[in-house]
Structure 1
Amino acid sequence: MGLIIILLVGALVGWLAGIIMRSGGGLVFDIIVGIVGALIAGFLFGGGASIINAPLSATSILYSLLGAVILLAIVKVVRRGA
């Protein structure tokens, strides 16, 4: 059950980050961005700031969204440079 919640929240976070950064990715891309963004947030802001540890916490969702936006910004820079 926890994995399903993480995937759903990751998809939501990735979708919101995609809207903010205008990435245009699909559902699978959004889930990956959301979960990797959550891992980035956990690394940058401490383990409790990630949806991996507390998937339904407003704080962890906001930090994960910030991590996903950072990830999409990095992806845009890499794509532009290639």
Structure 2
Amino acid sequence: MEGIGWIAAIIVGALAGWIAEKIMKADHGLLTNIVLGILGALVLNFILMAIVGSTLGGWIGQLIIGVIGACLLIGGYRAIRRA
């Protein structure tokens, strides 16, 4: 995650994963929430850099990006599992 340290990335990732879990009505553990939040932020930051050329910075920006990215990952997993 750009602009924040590793410990902050884990905290923001856990919070983003937890929020995404509640939005998507999923049931995951703490470790899964951390992984989904961090991976979601990485994936969406990559997409935003490719399309827009910039991304949201700071804790709040990365939290928003992480939540949206984690929701996309949960939705993608559900779509693949149904197929």
Fold match by TM threshold 0.5:
yes
Which of residues 75, 78, 81 is equivalent to 2:80? Answer: 78
**Residue 22 of structure 1 pairs with residue 28 of structure 2:** no
Query: What is the deviation of 1:55?
Result: 4.8
Structure having greater relative contact order (Cα 8 Å, sep ≥ 6)? 2
1: distance between equivalents of 2:9 and 2:55? 13
Moved over 6 A (4+): none
Structure 2 gap ranges (5+) = none
Which of residues 39, 49, 57 is equivalent to 2:55? Answer: 49
Residues matched between the structures, number: 77
Identity %: 34
**Residue 36 of structure 1 pairs with residue 39 of structure 2:** yes
Q: Which amino acid is 1:67 matched to?
A: G
Which of residues 64, 67, 76 is equivalent to 1:65? Answer: 67
Inter-CA distance 30–13: structure 2 relative to 1 (3 Å threshold): same
2: distance between equivalents of 1:38 and 1:30? 12
Q: Which amino acid is 1:65 matched to?
A: V
**Does the CA contact (< 8 Å) of 1:37 and 1:68 recur in 2?**
yes
Query: What is the deviation of 1:49?
Result: 2.8
How much is the aligned-residue C-alpha RMSD, in angstroms?
Answer: 2.0
